[in-house]
A and B are shown apart, each in its own frame.
Chain A
Amino acid sequence: MIEIERIAKMNKSGNFKMKIKKIISSINNVKQLKAGIILLALIILLAIFAPLIATHDPFELNDDMVSPPSNNYILGTDGLGRDIFSGILYGARTSILIGVVAASISGIMGTLIGGISGFYGGKIDAVLSEVINVFLMMPTFFLILIIVALFGSSMFNVMVVIGITTWTGNARLMRAEALSLKQRTFVKSLETIGESKFKILLKHIIPNGIFPIIANTTMNVSDAILTESALSFLGLGDPNVMSWGQIVYNGKSYLTNGWWISTFSGIAIVLTVLAFYLIGDGMNNILSPKLNSNN
């Protein structure tokens, strides 16, 4: 965990500030980034103030089962009479938490493994990149599925499992960054000055190469939310928390006479996932404007 703090600290200084400034000034130019941030801010506000906004206790079983949207139940109720609107509000907390934690685990693992692999090279790299290759070839979703099925579907399990099975993308990115940064003159000059290899990795390679990983991690939040909702949809969600995938799952049997159950919860997933995608892609846009811009 020391590393995380260090990285966080380092990012506060120098060029990172400039990049942040650049991002802020670019937010207005990069439409998808602007849209994503506004959307996400809205969703986060709703999640934070869920207890205030919610009209019902999301777990409360009301007498009105499969009741269509009305004044009392804004988005209707499900088969057990639970209020959908309140469920969706509380579900936002679950989705965002799982997404962010899982993506962070994957981001940190990927950064460290990829950084070490690319920067140290040689045998370490040979072994680590083989590990990355192997992971890339594995059907991760099924692995997650099986592990969750075997070990239980608590929220903690889901987060950790998604995190440790999806770090390879980040590791590949960081490895590529480290490989190219390693060739840069400033790294060679740090070596001639006498800086130790490990310090160069932590203080110079990772901070200079972290930006694509941040963008990618933002997108990974989206993927993690989708994975979690798919697990819930397959009945492998944490039964103790409210989750959008579960609501969609619950609504599946009422598709004909209670279309609102699955529909609205699904829209909530789409919007949240979209927000993170837009932000991540917007950041990539700033990094390589030539490729993505519309001009």
Chain B
Amino acid sequence: MGERLCAILQEGTVDMENNYTLEITDVFKHYTQRIKGKNRFRSVKKTVKAVDGISFELKSGEIMGIIGESGCGKSTLAKLLTNLEQPTGGKILFNGVSSEEMLKNDRLQYKRMIQMVFQNPFDTFDPRNNIDKIIDETLKLHSIGKTRDERASITQDAMEKVGLTPVDDYLHRFPHELSGGQLQRISILRAMLLRPKFLVADEPVSMLDVSVRAEIIKMLQEQVRNLNTALVFISHDINTTRYISDKIVVMYLGRIVESGITDSVLHNPAHPYTKTLISNCASIDILEKSNPIKIEGEPPTPIDNGPGCYFAPRCYMSKDKCFKEYPEKTEIEQGHFASCHFINRDNLN
């Protein structure tokens, strides 16, 4: 048995002492798009700012939730982290090494550094291949296990560990023969077989039936805990994000508007956008019904924002200043930040 196999079998003991840090500094993703002009026969070239200057830090073992509405840039951020798209500005550093450098040296090493679980489990695998082939090719690509047999036993062990048994029943099936929950578990398993230091999960349960969501969330939790992997959990579902994550980031139109320890942000939101988001979120908890805050319209496409606060046009408490100046990031309590002029009352006048 190869060294790697041993390591996998003694799950959870290998990387504990190794600490990895993911550092994102001022990352941008802008692209030009033709936008409808005055009528459909005219168009204007505009810069869409999908991700507009984002910075955060994530350490091994942490689980960070990202919430926001569609178009807020959370999925683009996931693609930037996994190099499905390349940022137009800023740095993504893994333990101080930039992503470009890593990709240049060893593209596959980068892939082993950060893996991803996708929203749609039904479409995560090539429909022409069975599960055995899908997993085997992944291991082969990354030279995990020298022979076919060795790889087969790695797969076998890993699947048994997460309760996908009897293993043979799964291996010889094609993706369309499995349920969403089973597929998503295989997707997580495949990502974790590469022993990534970071895992991005983009809406991993939103396409699943309610009754199987919990097991996926629990599996994600266990898997990252065992390997001390850091998890970025992207979701529009605030309740689930609260359940799984240690800290939380709220995004609006490509920027982070509020961030901090999960319960601190969700129970004591400082930014009006976060407040609106939470108050409009339907909850099973009927005894604590809150009245939804009313705001105008829907999130626009991130074009021509600012110079003021991006949320100002829809904000229920915006003043002149909000339209002129982008609010600075302010610390409310330890580790809890928000960018709003109203946090510090002195700024008001």
Direct contact of A and B (CB under 8 A): yes
A residues contacting B by CB (< 8 A) are 13-16, 18, 184-186, 188-195, 204, 207-208
When C-beta atoms are compared, the residue in chain B nearest to A204 turns out to be: B126
Contact A194 B187 (CB under 8 A): no
Known: A16-B128, A193-B115. 6 other contacts (CB 8 A): A189-B116, A189-B187, A190-B126, A194-B141, A195-B141, A207-B128
Contact B116 A192 (CB under 8 A): yes
Contact A208 B82 (CB under 8 A): no
Contact A184 B123 (CB under 8 A): yes
Question: Is the CB of B182 closer than 8 A to any CB of chain A?
Answer: no
Complex: A207 Cα to B123 Cα, angstroms: 16
Q: Which of B123, B127, B190 contacts A15 (CB 8 A)?
A: B127
Q: Which of B84, B174, B187 contacts A191 (CB 8 A)?
A: B84
**Known: A188-B118, A192-B111, A193-B111. Contact between A14 and B133, CB under 8 A?**
yes
Contact A194 B107 (CB under 8 A): yes
B residues contacting A by CB (< 8 A) are 82-84, 107-108, 111-112, 115-116, 118-120, 123-130, 133, 138, 141-142, 174, 187, 190, 194
CB of B81, distance to nearest CB on chain A (Å): 10
Contacts of B133 in A (CB 8 A): 14
Complex: A194 Cα to B140 Cα, angstroms: 11
Contact B142 A189 (CB under 8 A): no
Contact A18 B119 (CB under 8 A): no
- The 9 A-B residue pairs with the shortest CB-CB distance in the complex, in nearest-first order: A15-B128, A194-B111, A185-B123, A14-B128, A192-B116, A185-B118, A185-B120, A194-B108, A192-B82
Q: Interface on chain B toward A: helix, strand, loop, or mixed SS?
A: loop
CB of B104, distance to nearest CB on chain A (Å): 15
CB of A155, distance to nearest CB on chain B (Å): 37
Could you jot down 25 A-B contacts, CB within 8 Å?
A: A13-B128, A13-B129, A14-B133, A15-B129, A16-B128, A18-B174, A184-B123, A185-B118, A185-B120, A185-B124, A186-B125, A186-B127, A189-B118, A189-B187, A192-B84, A192-B115, A193-B111, A193-B194, A194-B112, A194-B141, A194-B142, A195-B141, A204-B128, A208-B126, A208-B127
Contact B174 A15 (CB under 8 A): yes
Complex: A18 Cα to B174 Cα, angstroms: 10
Contacts of B127 in A (CB 8 A): 15, 186, 208
CB of A256, distance to nearest CB on chain B (Å): 59
CB of B137, distance to nearest CB on chain A (Å): 8
Contacts of A192 in B (CB 8 A): 82-84, 111, 115-116
Contact A188 B84 (CB under 8 A): yes
Q: Interface on chain A toward B: helix, strand, loop, or mixed SS?
A: helix
Contact A193 B119 (CB under 8 A): no
Complex: A192 Cα to B108 Cα, angstroms: 9
Contacts of A193 in B (CB 8 A): 111, 115, 138, 141, 190, 194
Contacts of B108 in A (CB 8 A): 194
Contacts of A194 in B (CB 8 A): 107-108, 111-112, 141-142
CB of A277, distance to nearest CB on chain B (Å): 28
Contacts of A195 in B (CB 8 A): 141
Contacts of B115 in A (CB 8 A): 192-193
The residue among A185, A192, A194, A204 with the most chain B CB atoms within 10 A of its own CB is A192
Q: Which of A14, A186, A189, A204 contacts B174 (CB 8 A)?
A: A14
Q: Which of B82, B107, B116, B123 contacts A186 (CB 8 A)?
A: B123
When C-beta atoms are compared, the residue in chain A nearest to B112 turns out to be: A194
When C-beta atoms are compared, the residue in chain A nearest to B142 turns out to be: A194
Complex: A285 Cα to B234 Cα, angstroms: 40
Contacts of B129 in A (CB 8 A): 13-15
Complex: A194 Cα to B137 Cα, angstroms: 11
Contact B84 A185 (CB under 8 A): no
CB of A120, distance to nearest CB on chain B (Å): 15
When C-beta atoms are compared, the residue in chain B nearest to A191 turns out to be: B84
Contacts of A204 in B (CB 8 A): 126, 128
Contact B130 A14 (CB under 8 A): yes
Complex: A221 Cα to B82 Cα, angstroms: 45
CB of B267, distance to nearest CB on chain A (Å): 34
Contact A208 B128 (CB under 8 A): yes
**Known: A192-B82, A208-B127. Contact between A185 and B119, CB under 8 A?**
yes
Contact B124 A189 (CB under 8 A): yes
CB of B194, distance to nearest CB on chain A (Å): 8
Complex: A33 Cα to B113 Cα, angstroms: 51
When C-beta atoms are compared, the residue in chain B nearest to A189 turns out to be: B124
The residue among A15, A185, A191, A193 with the most chain B CB atoms within 10 A of its own CB is A193
Complex: A80 Cα to B126 Cα, angstroms: 60
